[in-house]
């Protein structure tokens, strides 16, 4: 268990595309755990690997922790791929651990269907809505080198 140094606004790594994870070895498992530790320690609800300096296609999140009285219910998504996005959109104020004190409204799809590999190497499909769908889209963007402020500029 370790809290890793966050990467912040202006760091080039936040603009780069993550690389596919070929092998879920101990290093990847350790990275996943450290990402969760780092996320919780900073009161975040999601984190992508590039935010701790690793260009790996992995994101973690926990939408339960803040909303449900600090009961942890983490999820780890390896090599996620969006399969479907709902046509219906929602506007939610977002922040990002790499952009402290910056918050703005972002338009996102209300629902998302995503394929990923879990930490045990099992392929899974997840349908998410509400805050979970928002966080997944936000963190997925990080894996593409996109940050939430880029989404605002598109408006």
Task: Give whichever of 78 and 143 is closer to Ni ion, judged by the CB atom.
Answer: 143
CB of 147 to Ni ion, least distance (A): 6
Q: Which of 12, 132, 139, 144 is catalytic?
A: 139
- The answer to whether 139 is a known catalytic residue is yes
Task: Give whichever of 24 and 46 is closer to Ni ion, judged by the CB atom.
Answer: 46
- Contact (Cβ atoms closer than 8 angstroms) between residue 106 and residue 151: yes
Backbone angles phi, psi at 44, to 5 degrees: -95, 165
Q: Residue numbers of the site for Ni ion (CB under 5 A)?
A: 96
Nearest residue to Ni ion by CB is: 96
Task: Give whichever of 100 and 130 is closer to Ni ion, judged by the CB atom.
Answer: 100
144 Cβ contact partners less than 8 Å away, ≥ 6 residues apart: 17, 18
CA distance 6 to 98: 7
Beta-bridged to residue 116, according to DSSP, are 124
CB of 94 to Ni ion, least distance (A): 8
- 3-class secondary-structure state, position 11: coil
CB of 97 to Ni ion, least distance (A): 6
Catalytic residue positions, numbered: 139
């Amino acid at each position: 268990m370790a809290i890793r140094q966050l990467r912040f606004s202006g760091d080039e790594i936040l603009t780069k595309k993550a690389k596919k994870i070929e092998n879920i070895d101990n290093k990847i498992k350790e990275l996943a755990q450290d990402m969760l530790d780092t996320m919780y320690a900073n009161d975040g609800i999601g984190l992508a690997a590039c935010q701790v300096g690793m260009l790996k296609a992995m994101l973690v999140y926990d939408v339960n922790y803040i909303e449900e009285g600090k009961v942890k219910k983490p999820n780890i998504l390896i090599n996620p791929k969006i399969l479907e996005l709902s046509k219906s959109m929602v506007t939610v104020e977002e922040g990002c651990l790499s952009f402290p004190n910056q918050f703005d409204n972002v338009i996102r799809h209300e629902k998302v269907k995503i394929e990923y590999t879990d930490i045990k190497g099992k392929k899974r499909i997840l349908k998410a809505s509400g805050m979970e769908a928002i966080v997944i889209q936000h963190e997925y963007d990080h894996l593409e080198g996109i940050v939430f402020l880029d989404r605002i500029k598109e408006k």
